[in-house]
Amino acid sequence: VKIVLLGSSGVGKTSIIQRCLRQQFNFEQEPTTNVGFEQFFLKNQEELVRVELWDTAGQEKYAEMLPLYYKNASGSIVVFDITDYSTFETAQKLLINIREQNPDCKFLLVANKLDLEDKREITVMQARNLAASQNAHYIEISAKTGQNSQDLLLYFAQKLVPQKITS
């Protein structure tokens, strides 16, 4: 199962991976400048399913390469920062572009930096409406504190992994 993390630079894509897979947070995380790759296994019933998690660079100069990564993905995690409206706009564009290129892809829209609730620029309703319009699941997390971060893996275990096993 191939899953791609997408979103603007600085939204916390790499931090989300580190939190979900290693229960760690790096306060001095450098921006991803190419593509990172992680592999792990999820158990579905009696089977272990290999998951490839691709961490893409969010800088604008790498945008033209993104379709190469999400073209054959089973799932896409599109991340935005709740304190930066421009990252929400980018997430919206990404969801639309991925849907056009890969209509069978499952989507997870992730609002990160829930620990900065007092600086929120995107309402829960705005994000839920975007997710609903693109047939995406929506969750809010904090990669920093770990709040709701396990919901990411749970979503894949329940939604993406069974699709691959039964198809």
Give per-residue pLDDT as tens, 70-95. 678 888 899 999 999 999 999 999 99
Give per-residue pLDDT as tens, 99-117. 898 988 888 999 999 999 9
What pLDDT was estimated at residue 25?
47
Mean pLDDT of 41-45: 69
Mean pLDDT of 45-55: 75
What pLDDT was estimated at residue 51?
77
Measured between alpha carbons, how far is 12 from 57 in angstroms, rounded to an integer? 11
Nearest to 31 by CA among 7, 53, 8, 57: 57
Measured between alpha carbons, how far is 82 from 141 in angstroms, rounded to an integer? 10
Torsion, CA 38, CA 52, CA 81, CA 128, rounded to 10: -160
Mean pLDDT of 109-134: 96
Measured between alpha carbons, how far is 131 from 110 in angstroms, rounded to an integer? 9
Task: List 47's β-bridge partners, or say none.
Answer: 44
What pLDDT was estimated at residue 114?
94
- Cα 96 to Cα 77, 136, 143, distances in angstroms: 13, 11, 25
Q: Among 2-6, 46-50, 81-85, 90-94, name the one with the lowest average pLDDT.
A: 46-50
Mean pLDDT of 56-65: 57
Q: How many helices, marked H, and strands, marked E, lie in the chain?
A: 6, 6
Structural domain spans, the chain:
2-152
In the three-class reduction of DSSP (H, G, I as helix; E, B as strand; rest coil), residue 56 is classed as strand
Q: How confident is the model at residue 19 (pLDDT cuts 50, 70, 90)?
A: confident
CATH code reported for the domain at 2-152? 3.40.50.300
